[in-house]
Amino acid sequence: MSDVVSLIIDGDVGVIKIDNPPVNATSAAVRQGLLQGLEALEQAPKLSAGVIICAGRTFVAGADLKEFGRPPQLPRLPELLDRFERASKPLVAAIHGTALGGGLELALACHARVAQPGARLGLPEVKLGLIPGAGGTQRLPRLVGLERALAMVLGGEPVSAMEAVEAGLVDELAEQDLLEAAVKLASSLARAGRWRRTGDLAVPTPDAGELDKVAGRLLARARGQHAPARARDAVLAAASLPLGEGLALERKLFEECRTDAQSAALRHLFFAERATGKVEGLAAPLNKVAVVGAGTMGSGITIALLDAGIEVVLIDTDADSLERGAARLRTHYQGLVDKGRLGAAQQQALLARLVVATDPREAAAAELVIEAVFEDLSIKQALFATLDEVTAASAWLATNTSYLDVDAIASATQRPDRVLGLHFFSPANVMKLVEVVRARHTSSDALATGVALARRLAKIPVVVSNATGFVGNRMLQAYGRENQQLLLEGATPWQVDAALESWGMAMGPNAVLDLAGMDIGYRARRARTDLPDDPSFFRVADALVEQGRLGRKSGRGNYLYPAEGPRQPDPEVVQLIEAEARRLGIERRVVAETEIVERCILALVNEGARLLEAGVAGSPADIDVIWVNGYGFPRFRGGPMWYAAQRGLTEVVAETRRIGKTQGALYWTPASLLVRLAQSGENLYP
Ligand code: 3H9
């Protein structure tokens, strides 16, 4: 029938099979094939029912995201699915893998659903700034009720096949052969001569209070995003409007989402996050990894490795630190057991893969060593010299440094081609981002091995080149310096944080400093020789540290942290800032929220462009992935470089120059890449 959809006869049942790798998305060819398949099925007198099934690893995982932004091709999915629902013969969806978005909508338009026990079903459109646009918001509530439909559509998280059965979304679990079970069910519906059209069902009467609670909770989580509120309106319409009108409203709201810049930004990130994992080079499989340094970072990395089924030797030459690290691991897993998220047997199996040691020679059998010791170049160099001696010549050696020179660390070994950076973010078992650092001699196989490991740990690796602070922290410095300068000029830490948080940053820069511990940056600045000659550079942060205000860990930093309750502004901090500003001859004034956002974000953009120019970042999309996944940049804005591109580089350059008039050229000379692109009318993205 077509390359991607075929009709196979199984007794009196026609099996429409979709085979469109990698995820059977409903591309134009699939939609055409489905229509032809349905017509052929309806016209064949010998066939009394149909089954929709997919080849490969999954049921349809959604509309084809590559088609968004291209001219639409017929048949469109909503009309096609209406046609499926009104079919003259019963249709059964046979689900394995993931039935997501348009895929679940296809299943909802069928007359019954059979799923393998491991299948997952969901409407994740909000994660792409969309709402379900092919009947999902109208048909799902008719099967599972408004409350659950709201939770699934606004939250975007899939449910398991078992939950789907309990909710009434799936009719049957196929413990054995999926196709056989679906064919049997389709045949029996045909024999009975009765089948149910989802769209004909009434929406169960909701509990209004509960509805408000569910919607309120989910919308609060979706701060700044447009799609979830539209999704709520569409789902609630299922209860108040007849199907046809509900579908028309869904269509209208879907179109608003599709043309919204937020959706373009989120779809950009979807592909960008998948592209960063594609590197040349041969990745070595890893089964045994040593982690040196049992502090917070080392323990977090160890958890991530153990969770991925890798054997770990955790080494710390200080027996007390090692014991604290080991205790942290035990507490972590015990916590999961207590919450019922891990079985006792699994806990045992995980911990059985862990060995702890104080002697670096215990790294001898490791295929990869990840160093996570104190940020001090000479300590790291000495350790790498030792590791070079004690490990096999084939072992890879990685440093988790967040800003030190990886070339200098590699130079302590005889195998600089096998040395790389693996910059995890804290807490390393939670944060998705890993900067995989290419030093001067790092081989492509070493990079590929680092990237593959990060993927195996379910993280998002981004390859960056060796430079102080790499990409993420280098940009953080530019952003942080602007924050600090704004404080001296008249803003308060809570004002800066509130402005950036309401713009969408997960946490303001001053709250972040307090969380991370301000002494870390303080020490790093003391050790560096490349900082600008600028007496106001990070002066507020330094003065706070000098007063013993290290952040949360000391109970006070930019904020006060009472033993109970949330952080609080502290007038003493304002006095300290005023004193510093006086000393530096800076006259304080009222700083507007718009100025705060503009200066912090454009500083970020300009530094990002400089890193692109210098080849430290591989692409603008890499920078976006780093800032969204490592630094809380709002996803719905697509990342700093995407934001700049959408705003227009001519405006970005003009605005950077305008700020430079009062702030000076040291920080505010627009990156020549931006100037060049703006002049030639090009943009950052192809
Ligand atoms: C929608 O359905 C709108 C409708 O309501 C209305 C329409 C009118 N399109 O993630 P992976 C590619 S909106 C095109 O690495 P995994 C992906 O780029 C959609 N391509 O694998 C990658 O390509 P490559 C709602 C897609 O096993 C490859 O497949 N659906 C699509 O870790 C493998 O992907 C969603 O939002 C797509 N829809 O995870 C689901 N999906 O190899 C989005 C994937 O070249 N997808 N690709 O890099 C996912 O969540 C995951 O891909 C999935 C598999 C869980 C399916």
Distance from the alpha carbon of residue 462 to the mean position of ligand 1, in angstroms = 20
Q: Assign a CATH topology to domain 288-466.
A: Rossmann fold (3.40.50)
Q: What is the pLDDT of residue 574?
A: 98
- Expressed in angstroms and rounded, the spacing between residue 241 Cα and the centre of ligand 1 is 31
| C-alpha 608 to ligand 1 mean position (Å) | 28
Q: Which atom of ligand 1 is nearest to the CA of 274?
A: 48
98 CB less than 6 Å from ligand 1? Answer: yes
| Nearest Cα to Cα of residue 537 among 520, 522, 558, 557 | 522
With a 6 A CB cut-off, is 298 part of the ligand 1 pocket? no
Instruction: Give me the pLDDT at residue 686, please.
Output: 84
Integer Rg of the chain from CA: 28
CA-nearest residue for atom 51, ligand 1, is 61
Do residues 566 and 470 touch, judged by C-beta distance below 8 A? Answer: no
472 contacts: CB under 8 Å, gap ≥ 6: 423, 425, 433, 435, 626, 627, 630, 631
Q: Which CATH class is domain 5-195+204-259?
A: alpha beta
Catalytic residues: 105, 125
Q: For CATH 3.40.50.720, list the domain ranges present in the chain.
A: 288-466
Residue ranges for the chain with pLDDT beneath 70: none
d(CA 502, CA 378): 42
Tell me the C-alpha to C-alpha distance, in Å, between residue 342 and each of 244, 273, 301, 348, 349.
46, 29, 19, 10, 11
Q: What is the pLDDT of residue 269?
A: 98
Ligand 1 binding pocket includes 66 (Cβ within 6 Å): yes
3-state DSSP call for residue 53? strand
Show Cβ contacts of residue 617 under 8 Å, excluding neighbours closer than 6 positions.
464, 465, 471, 608, 611, 623, 626
3-state secondary structure of 368: strand
Is residue 405 within 8 A of residue 384, CB to CB? The reply is no
Please name which of 569, 586, 576 lies closest in space to residue 485, comparing C-alpha atoms: 586
3-state class of 509 per DSSP? helix
In the block, which residue shows the tokens 């001859």? 585
> In the prediction, which pLDDT does 495 show?
98
Strands 5-10 and 13-18: antiparallel
Q: CATH: 2.40.160.60, 1.10.1040.50, 3.90.1300.10, 3.40.640.10. Which one for 473-680?
A: 1.10.1040.50
- Report CA torsion sign: 20, 26, 29, 34: positive
Burial (CB < 10 A; 0-12, 13-18, 19+), residue 131, is buried
Pocket of ligand 1 contains residue 63 by CB under 6 Å: yes
The order of strands in the sheet holding 159-160 is 98-100, 120-122, 159-160
In the reported structure, the alpha carbon of residue 62 is separated from the centroid of ligand 1 by a whole-number distance in angstroms of 7
Q: Which of the listed residues 4, 23, 105 should we mutate to test ligand 1's pocket, taking the one with most ligand atoms within 8 A of CB?
A: 23
Strand 98-100 and strand 396-399: the pairing is unpaired
Distance CA 509, CA 523 (A): 18
Give the pLDDT confidence score for residue 524 in this predicted structure: 87
Atom of ligand 1 lying closest to residue 136 CA? 5
Q: Which residues face 564 on adjacent strands?
A: none
Closest ligand 1 atom to residue 63 Cα is: 2
Would you say 558 and 547 are in contact if contact means Cβ atoms under 8 Å apart?
Answer: no
Distance CA 552, CA 516 (A): 8
Q: How far is the centre of ligand 1, averaged over its atoms, from the C-alpha of 381 (Å)?
A: 43
**pTM reported for the whole predicted model:** 0.95
Render pLDDT for 190-234 as a digit per residue (tens, 0 to 9).
999 999 999 999 998 878 888 888 889 999 988 899 999 999 999
Who contacts 647 (Cβ-Cβ below 8 Å, separation ≥6)?
none
Given a contact cutoff of 8 angstroms between Cβ atoms, the answer to whether 15 and 7 are in contact is yes
Give the per-residue pLDDT at 477.
95
The percentage of residues in the chain with a pLDDT greater than 70, rounded to a whole number, is 100
The segment(s) of the chain belonging to CATH 3.90.226.10 are: 5-195+204-259
Q: Whose CA is nearest to atom 39 of ligand 1?
A: 23
